[in-house]
Amino acid sequence: MAAAYTGLGAYSINHSDVFSFTANQASLAQLKNTGIAVYGERKFLLSELNSYTAVFGLPTKSGNFGLKAGYYGFSDYNETQLGLAYGRKLGEKVGLGAQFNYNGIRIAGFGNDAAISFELGTILHLTDKLHAGIHVNNPVGGKFGKDQQEKLSSVYTVGIGYELLINFLSVQRS
């Protein structure tokens, strides 16, 4: 639910942050410190387009955990999502992650409903500077509605990142 740029560090070793797992849960494997972050946006100053996301990341010896809470909308129509994520390294070259989500929707005059979904992601560190990954959101489709006819969308993404780090100390000595 957060803007795409909150997860830009997902395909990086040096720039990964607590928001990165919102783009690919495997990036949790790179998290080194406990962190909390909050993001809010009101597009075009319209309350109908409110978007808020809060995340929490916790590194442990057995892998890293993330918690995400998101809200989009206003009083007459809104969507919420609560997610619990886990990511860990499988050696030095591979990260793997998963997230389970509770998705809620509320429409004034129609009521509330909820669905469960999950996400899976992997990141491959091809070289020290080149990273690639695959992320799958809701591949089997949680469903809303009394007759289960409203399906959550499935989203498949591929990402790639290249580290453009310059060692400023060596540049200044030259």
Which pTM does this prediction carry? 0.85
Domain ranges in the chain are 4-173
Query: pLDDT tens, 90-130?
Result: 999 999 999 999 999 999 998 899 999 999 999 999 998 99
CATH topology of domain 4-173: Porin (2.40.160)
Query: pLDDT tens, 40-93?
Result: 999 999 989 999 999 999 999 999 999 999 999 999 999 999 999 999 999 999
Question: Which letter, b or e, does each residue of 85-109 get, where b requires 16 or more Cβ atoms within 10 Å of its Cβ?
Answer: bbbbbeeeeebbbbbebebebbeee
pLDDT band for 165, please (50, 70, 90 cuts): low
- Write out the two tokens for 72: 């989009």
